[in-house]
Structure 1
C-alpha cells in the first residue's frame, strides 16, 4: 500500500498508526522499560488514533441510508474495540508519564500496552475487511443486472 492508498482509506491510516504503536510497545518490552519520552509519544499517538476512530464512526453513523446497517455490522463492534484498546493504551502510558511508575512495573505496563496495541490492530484489520466487503456488496447491489451479464 502506498501513501495515496492510506490517505484515501481512514481505516488504513489508523492501521499505519496502530502498527507503529505495536512496534513502539514491542521495543519497550524488549528494553524491559518504557521511558517517559516514549510514554509521551504513546499517549499522544494513541489518543489521536482513538479520535480518528470516533470521527470515522461519527461519519458512518450520520449517513442516514447506511447508519442502521453500520451500527449492526461487525465493523462497528470492531471499531468500538479498537477505540477501547487505544484509550487503554493511552491511559497506561499516561500513568507512566504522570506518576513515574517504577521500572519493575513499567515492564508489566509495556506488556499490557503491547497487548492493547495488537488488539487494536486486529480489530481495525477486521473492520477494514468487513467495510470493504460491505462496500463491494453495496456496489454490486447498485449495478444494473444487464451489466453483470457480459
Structure 2
C-alpha cells in the first residue's frame, strides 16, 4: 500500500499496524517471554495507533455530515473498543520497562497484550466492514488524512 493510500484510509492503516502488533505479541507468547526491546516497540506502535484512532474519532466530531454518516453504521463503539485495547496494550508493555518486571511475569503480560492486540484488530476489522458497507469511506477520507499530515 502506498503512503498516500495509507493516509487516505486511516482504518486500513490502523489495521496494518494492529495486525503487526498481533504478530509481535504472538511471537512473544510463542517465545514465552517479551523482551525489553519488543516492549519498547509495542509501547511506541500501540500509542501511535491509539492516537490515530483518536484522530479518526475526533474527525467525526468536527463535521456534521461525517458524524451522521458514521452514526448510521456501528463503528463508534468499534473505534472506542480499539482505542481502549491499544491503550491497554501500550500500558502493559510500558510496565515491563517502567517497573523492571521479571521474565516469569513478562510471559503473562505477553498473553494479555496478545489478547488486547487481537481485540483491537477485530474491532478495527468490524469498523472497516461497517464503513465499507455504509459507503462512508468517501466522507471520512479527507478529514483524517488532513490530521495525519499535521
Fold shared, TM-score > 0.5 on shorter chain: yes
Greater relative contact order structure (CA < 8 Å, 6+ sep): 2
Report the equivalent of 1:109.
109
Distance 2:70 2:12 in 1: 18
Contact 1:61 1:70 in 2 (8 A): no
Alignment gaps of 5+ in structure 2? 140-150
Q: Where does residue 143 of structure 1 map in the other structure?
A: none
Deviations 1:3-49 (A, max 9, x none): 35433211000001000101110111111111111111100000000
1:98: Cα distance to partner?
A: 0.8
Q: Partner of 1:59: helix, strand, or coil? A: helix
Where does structure 1 lack aligned partners over 5 or more consecutive residues? Answer: 140-150
Compare 86-95 and 64-73 and name the one that shifted more.
64-73
CA RMSD of aligned residues (A): 2.0
Partner of 1:126: 126
Higher-Rg member (1/2): 1
TM-score normalised per structure 1: 0.84
- Aligned length, in residue pairs: 138
* Contact kept in structure 2, 1:39 and 1:93, CA below 8 Å: yes
Report the TM-score when normalising by structure 2. 0.84
